Amino acid sequence: MMKQRGILVVVSGFSGVGKGTIMKRLTEKYDNYALSVSATTRDPRAGETDGKDYFFHTAEEFQRMIACDELVEYACYCGNYYGTPRKYVEDQMERGRDVILEIEIQGALKIKAKYPDALLLFVMPPDGETLKKRLSGRNTETPEVIEARLKRASAEADGIESYDYILVNDDLEKCVDELHSLIACQHWQVKRNLDFISRVRGQIKEF
Amino acid sequence: MMKQRGILVVVSGFSGVGKGTIMKRLTEKYDNYALSVSATTRDPRAGETDGKDYFFHTAEEFQRMIACDELVEYACYCGNYYGTPRKYVEDQMERGRDVILEIEIQGALKIKAKYPDALLLFVMPPDGETLKKRLSGRNTETPEVIEARLKRASAEADGIESYDYILVNDDLEKCVDELHSLIACQHWQVKRNLDFISRVRGQIKEF
């Protein structure tokens, strides 16, 4: 079979549900994934590396990228821009690697509109109580921070129906293997195999 | 998570591609599948058992089943009726078992129209040559029989685009595991988890 184009995978989910940990484990365990690095205008935090955690840009640079259509999606949160650089995404897909974007629902919907074959996944906790415990942390945060996190989770609960599949993060290893399996399966979609189908059909028609 | 309704899976594919062997191995290896047994008016062949290979009926009985809407799909080939009894399919799905129908494209399209959530799979050979070898058999068939088989394969090549996924039967064990994985993944579709999503969302909105 011919090398297939990579799949664009959008992973969203509640803050605190463990998306970062899932992505880290997925790329440790399987080597066919490319994690997209977002561009942002916010200041780097302690320990963040340019090009690894984010591509840090000035607002002027970011606006130029928007104007030159160099971002597949972007949004503004709390006065800072965040976006997904197009070149990396398209290069990796062309090379047959599945590209994972960890973004929020507004970005996910923009991606789906631009790339209808993108796979949209939403990570769920097994139940609300589990998420609440994770968000409340180890009592190291102030009640105000915890309160803000819980409010945010509540807002994030809207729009799950726009996604293709859910993933339940109960057991990390199980969740990572299911994520891998879900993405692998999509490579068998008829629409991703039209060249192969057409070739075999041609051979059979000549019988 | 609540017990989910079973998925209706339609498996089609070229004669000679190994559908029967795949089904046999799938049900040996995994116990969550129910294979639907077709009803037919054709005569039993040597070694066929009523209720296992087919449900054998008279034409009068079959027509009564049609009239009473007891079949989810039926068709007439070579003067004989073939159909899928509804009760078994719906009972098994209700019990959470994934039900597999091995039927041809006309039946597959009728199923999709009646059950939009049905999963349509088409089994492909790795290439035309492999299928030709399998259809030509071990030189025990007459050239006429082989010729008829090759012609039929050619006709079967139409309509693959109506299916959701392809499966390539190159290595049997690999193909069976991919089939299992493909079906398992569909249980994570958002549309099959609306109750779970709604419950967790309700819990989170109360934070």
Contacts of A197 (CB under 8 A, 6+ apart): A190, B124, B160, B161, B166
Q: Out of A194, A197, A205, whose CB is closest to B154? A: A205
Q: What phi and psi, each to the nearest 5 degrees, are found at residue B99?
A: -100, 130
ipTM: 0.91
Contacts of A9 in chain B (CB under 8 A): none
Q: Out of B126, B157, B204, whose CB is closest to A204? A: B157
Are A185 and B165 within 8 A, CB to CB?
yes
Q: Out of A122, A157, A190, whose CB is closest to B163? A: A190
Q: What is the reported pLDDT for B123?
A: 97
Are B156 and B125 within 8 A, CB to CB?
no
**Per the structure block, which two tokens stand in for A73?**
């999606």
Task: Provide the 3-class DSSP secondary structure of residue B33.
Answer: strand
CA-wise closest residue to B160 among B108, B197, B201:
B108
Q: Out of B14, B189, B200, whose CB is closest to A127? A: B200
CA-wise closest residue to A12 among A146, A113, A107:
A107
Q: What phi and psi, each to the nearest 5 degrees, are found at residue A8?
A: -90, 115
Lowest mean pLDDT among A46-50, A59-63, B11-15, B140-144: B140-144
Q: Is B31 exposed, middle or buried (0-12, 13-18, 19+ CB in 10 A)?
A: exposed
Q: Is the pLDDT of residue B1 over 80?
A: no
Q: Is the pLDDT of residue B137 over 80?
A: no
Q: What is the reported pLDDT for B3?
A: 75
Q: Out of B122, B165, B203, whose CB is closest to A128? A: B203
% of chain A surpassing 90 pLDDT: 80
- B180 vs A: CB within 8 A: no
Mean pLDDT, all residues of chain A:
93
- What tens digit of pLDDT does each residue of B146-156 get? 888 888 888 88
Cα(A104)–Cα(A84) distance, rounded to whole angstroms?
12
Question: Whose structure tokens read 């609540």?
Answer: B2
Distance from CA of A43 to the nearest CA of B (A): 31
Q: Is the pLDDT of residue A138 over 70?
A: no
Are B7 and B183 within 8 A, CB to CB?
yes
B185–A190 CB contact, under 8 Å: no
Mean pLDDT, all residues of chain B:
93
Q: What is the reported pLDDT for A130?
A: 93
Q: Is the pLDDT of residue A178 over 80?
A: yes
CA-wise closest residue to B183 among B105, B109, B96:
B96
What is the DSSP pairing of strand B39-40 with strand B33-35? unpaired
Confidence of residue A180 (pLDDT cuts 50, 70, 90): very high
User: What is the maximum alpha-carbon separation in chain A?
Assistant: 74
Q: Is the pLDDT of residue B138 over 70?
A: no
Instruction: Give B 118-147 residues with CB within 8 A of chain A.
Output: 122, 124-129, 131-132
- The more confident residue out of A1 and B196 is B196
- What tens digit of pLDDT does each residue of B33-67 get? 999 999 999 999 999 999 999 999 999 999 999 99
Quote the pTM value.
Answer: 0.91
- Sort residue A39 into left (φ over 0), alpha (ψ -120 to 50) or beta: beta
Q: What is the reported pLDDT for A1?
A: 56
- The more confident residue out of B116 and A206 is B116
Cα(B182)–Cα(B97) distance, rounded to whole angstroms?
15
Cα(A65)–Cα(A58) distance, rounded to whole angstroms?
11
User: Is the sign of the CA dihedral A29, A30, A31, A35 positive or negative?
Assistant: negative
Are B189 and A148 within 8 A, CB to CB?
no
Contacts of B114 (CB under 8 A, 6+ apart): B72, B73
Confidence of residue A158 (pLDDT cuts 50, 70, 90): confident
HEC readout, A138-207: CCCCCHHHHHHHHHHHHHHCCCHHHCCEEEECCCHHHHHHHHHHHHHHHCCEHHHCHHHHHHHHHHHHCC
A203–B122 CB contact, under 8 Å: no
- What tens digit of pLDDT does each residue of B184-197 get? 999 999 999 999 99
Number of residue pairs across A and B with CB atoms under 8 Å? 114
- B1 vs A: CB within 8 A: yes
Question: Whose structure tokens read 């394969």?
Answer: B153
Q: What is the reported pLDDT for A155?
A: 86
For an interface test with A, the pick among B117, B164, B165 (most A C-beta atoms closer than 10 Å) comes out as B165
Mean local confidence (pLDDT), B92-100: 96
Contacts of A167 (CB under 8 A, 6+ apart): A13, A22, A121, A122, A123, A124, A175, A178, A179, A182, B188
Nearest chain A residue (CA) to B157: A201
